[in-house]
Amino acid sequence: MSENRLSFKEMCARFDVTPRTLRYYEYIELLTPDREGRSRYFGPKEIARMTLIMRGRRFGIKLEDIRQWLLIYEHEGTSAQMQAFVDMADRQYAELLEQREQLDEAMRELKELRDETAGFLTKAK
């Protein structure tokens, strides 16, 4: 490996993804590694793109929306693209807030049930 390129295997390890995932991102043209024979190498641009892809996935953003995000990132995008991203980010943020509220409620209910059950055990002794 050169200091600023990663092999396919190194890329999988660095981003903790399966080879299948990395091949899929390449197939749908989110990544375009350099090819030397049968080997693929990922340079700084592809590593930066993968960092953004992984960040987007962590936020729950769909791959097609990530594609738009990458276009904006690479080409500084048009005002319309940037506004579309802001709108998408606002929707995703609202969805994440809703998921957090649902999770908080489920955790409260589980704790109540657990405490109630523990109380029955204490009385039974």
Q: How confident is the model at residue 80, as a pLDDT?
A: 74
Q: How confident is the model at residue 61, as a pLDDT?
A: 87
Element (H, E) at 30: none
d(CA 8, CA 5) in angstroms, rounded, equals: 10
Q: Which CATH architecture has domain 6-94?
A: Orthogonal Bundle (1.10)
* CA 86 distance to own-chain centroid: 17
Number of H helices, E strands in the chain: 5, 3
Q: How confident is the model at residue 82, as a pLDDT?
A: 75
Give the model confidence (pLDDT) of 48-72 as tens digits: 899 989 998 888 888 988 887 787 7
Q: How confident is the model at residue 77, as a pLDDT?
A: 64
Q: How confident is the model at residue 100, as a pLDDT?
A: 94
Low-confidence ranges of the chain (pLDDT < 70): 1-3, 73-77
pTM: 0.67
d(CA 91, CA 46) in angstroms, rounded, equals: 27
d(CA 9, CA 19) in angstroms, rounded, equals: 8
